[in-house]
Structure 1
Amino acid sequence: MTAPRQAALFDLDGVLLDSAAAVRATLAAVATCATGRRVRPGDLPPDALRRPRCEVLALLDVADPDYACDRWWDGAMSATPIESFPCVLSGLLALRAQGTATGAVTLQDPDRVRWLLPQALSELLEVVITRQDAPPKPAPDGLRLALSRLDVTPERTVFVGDSPSDMTAARAAGVVALGAVWGWHPPAALRAAGADHLLPEPASIGPSLLRHLPLIDSA
């Protein structure tokens, strides 16, 4: 009998995409446009990447962060090229080569994803679920939608994320929660949010992810 299909799902920013510098630069640029004074990435709070962007902008004296993001975010974000972390492409290729389904569940908007994702990475993801496709994490809806589109069961799926909300969503969806410690949140926060295992580096992405799946008798 053929073994049931397996899936590896991922967050984008901080997991597949090395976007930290771009996001910090974008926050500074939006704050500069909104306030009329020069804001540099070094002026951001140290935990800027772990806070909602509108909260960070409010701390930088932006009067209407939502409006500022609508007006300037995408233009500023597109100015800084974003690449995948080292080993990500080869790891995804190896997963696909052995028949594992791959996908991403992200807080990004669909229009932004179209130009944000490097083409080589986009071609290795069978499905990308955005915040407009389902309620965003920590709700599990996006993960469940990805599983439905891939026709894979939760117990045969791992989700790699770098935030507490990623871990919460994974646990609620019934998939194995893997914390990426190379991302934007510290290991302790991932453990506290329910990570089943912590992954040390982007090179962890590959077929070895599936060893964290529970043993299931497929006979």
Structure 2
Amino acid sequence: MKRAVLFDLDGVLVDSRAAQLAALAGFATSALGRRVTVADLPAGAATTPRAQVLAELGLAGAINEDGWEAATATATLTAEVFPFVADTLTVLRDAGVATGIVTLRSRQRVNWLLPHDVLELIDVIVCYEDAVPKPAPDGLLLALDKLGVSPADAVFVGDMESDIHAARAAGVTPIGSGWGFSDASTLTRAGAALVLPRADDLAGALLSLTDAPGRAT
């Protein structure tokens, strides 16, 4: 039986909350022609759709994608991979567990966020342009198809309600990331089979989950 662990990217593998907020503030500053700081952003901006946040700042309508790309590229320089990521991925690989990322980021932005040594430890990456985005299950199913793993033999670690909904729709065990963008109660209400409050011994927890027979989804 081949097993797999799939991960969301932002908030799960990469500590990018500050970078996302900085991108919003930087883009708004350029577009509005006045200083907009992170403190000026609406409450919950990190987990609110980009268009909604910018509309609340007075930027309703079409977004200048070149300007957004520039703001994002600059902001992601401040994002860091969580310290546990490389070791976790290495332990999973040594145990014969396939790994993948399913993200709403474009492939270009994934390459901005992840260093080469981490990219080499990931078996498959499904990006925004590859499949209908979460909460649809398409990206998870595409990743598992590429890995040759049944949904019943996989878990998906995510930190947003859309991650949990996508996993359940795909028949994959949804695991909440308590260190990410959403709190544990939000992930539990969304249907997470388990919410890990911290990333302590993440590899061990994930190996136990992938070994467990009859995991609930």
Task: Report the TM-score when normalising by structure 2.
Answer: 0.93
**Corresponding residue SS for 2:131:** coil
- The separation in 2 between residues aligned to 1:210 and 1:58, in whole angstroms, is 43
1:84 positional shift: 0.8
Query: What SS does structure 2 have at the residue aligned with 1:135?
Result: coil
Which whole-Å deviations, capped at 9, do the CAs of 1:89-139 have from their partners, x for residues lacking one? 111111011111000000011222222222222111111001111000000
1:60-83 per-residue CA deviation (whole Å, 9 max, x = no partner) reads 11133x423x12222122223222
Write the distance in 1 (CA, Å) between the matches of 2:5 and 2:140: 11
Would you say how many aligned residue pairs link Structure 1 and Structure 2?
211
Question: Is this contact kept in 2: 1:107–1:130, CA < 8 A?
Answer: yes
Residue 142 of structure 2 aligns to a residue whose secondary structure is helix
Distance 2:205 2:161 in 1: 23
2:172 is equivalent to residue 149 of structure 1: no
Q: Percent identity?
A: 47
Task: List runs of 5+ in structure 2 lacking aligned partners.
Answer: none
Q: Report matched runs for 1:46-85 at 5 Å.
A: 46-64=43-61, 66-68=62-64, 70-80=65-75, 81=77, 82-85=79-82
Match of 1:28 in 2: 25
**Aligned twin of 1:15:** 12
Partner of 1:188: 185
Native 8 Å contact 1:88 1:202 kept in 2: no
Aligned equivalent of 1:215: 213
Q: Where in structure 1 do 4 or more consecutive aligned residues deviate above 4 Å?
A: none
Distance in 2 separating the partners of 1:207 and 1:92: 11
Letter in 1 for 2:12: V
Report the residue type matching 1:215 in the other structure.
Answer: P
Partners of 2:180 and 2:107 in 1: CA distance: 22
RMSD: 1.3
Q: TM-score, normalised by structure 1?
A: 0.92
The amino acid that maps onto 1:139 is: A
Structure-2 residue corresponding to 1:123: 120
Distance 1:46 1:106 in 2: 24
d(CA) in 1 for partners of 2:115, 2:40:
29
Question: What is the Cα deviation at residue 204 of structure 1?
Answer: 4.4
